[in-house]
Amino acid sequence: MNTLITIVGPTAIGKTALSIQLAKQYKCDIISCDSRQFYKEMCIGTAVPDEDELNAATHHFIQNRSVFDDYSVGDFEKDAIQKLNTLFTKNTTQIMVGGSGLYVDAVLKGLDYFPNVDPKIRENLNQQLENEGIEVLQQQLKELDITSYNTVAIENPHRLIRALEICIGTEKPYSSFINKEKAPRNFKSIKIGLNADREIIYERINLRVDLMMKNGLLEEAKALHAHKHLNALQTVGYRELFEYFDENWTLDFAVSEIKKNTRRFAKRQLTWFKKDKNILWFDYKDDLQNILKAIQES
């Protein structure tokens, strides 16, 4: 039977390293479902696997798009399922890794269907976000769809605008399209979660941000500053440095905000994944053999 082993957990926990170990063990490929690593212009700030890691196993969906491409979670679901169908003809076990819970669920469970809406609605909402701030849009969603207001990550501009454009474009609540019947999958799913004490996660995040700055994140963000309005760039690590380039913040403060917002992101990731009772959790330093045994017994 086809089996997809998915590795989840907070950012900087060691998912990439474990995915490579498992890919070597099963002699298979790795599907990346980190929604920030799709973009070739965003390398340092998204902690893309380094050259040695990329050479250690065949990766898919790493830096395969441009920030100028319009690429949605629905596009990824379709592309990932198509790629998996091909890979399963060569090996009935494959690995998927990533911290983007929505993208993981899109592959494992399928997405809810949403009608197409006029793209001008999103343009207007993006303009409103820039002119009036996120709180105005949050209030608008609260009035149009209180259920989505309480369940969508409303501090994420992309998710907030997505919910709003559906409400406005269809004149129906975004939440009314959620949790409909999905297309069945042709594989068994095994989910492995990596975790650590909060202090360790935060320490690893702080060290990673320092390393990113040392490796040239400032220069990478500077090259993208002119395009800061793009959805792909509404991302921790870039937004904060754009504030520095706009002379709103000092560099030290921007870096401290990257660390703080990355820690918040890790907390949201864990909140998302902890809701899934089918994930088998391991400490980030756990022995590979213990993980392999759990996979074998699943």
- The CATH architecture that domain 119-177 belongs to is Orthogonal Bundle (1.10)
**pLDDT tens for residues 118-135?**
999 999 999 999 999 999
Question: Mind giving me the DSSP string for 34-52?
Answer: -TTTTBTT-STTTT---HH
- The answer, yes or no, to whether residue 172 has pLDDT greater than 80, is yes
**pLDDT tens for residues 35-75?**
999 999 999 999 999 999 999 999 999 999 999 998 988 89
Model pLDDT, residue 113: 79
Model pLDDT, residue 156: 86
d(CA 117, CA 88): 35
Alpha helices in the chain (DSSP H): 15-26, 51-56, 73-88, 101-108, 119-132, 134-144, 146-151, 157-170, 198-214, 217-224, 239-245, 251-274, 288-297
Predicted TM-score (pTM) of the model is 0.83
The model's confidence at residue 153, banded by pLDDT at 50, 70 and 90, is confident
Residue spans of the domains in the chain: they are 3-111+182-297, 119-177
Amino acid at 127: Q
Query: What is the greatest pairwise CA distance in the chain?
Result: 56
- The answer, yes or no, to whether residue 24 has pLDDT greater than 80, is yes
d(CA 86, CA 13): 30
Hunting for tokens 């900087």 — which residue is that? 12
- The CATH code for residues 3-111+182-297 is 3.40.50.300
Coil, strand or helix at 62: coil
* Mean pLDDT score of the chain: 95
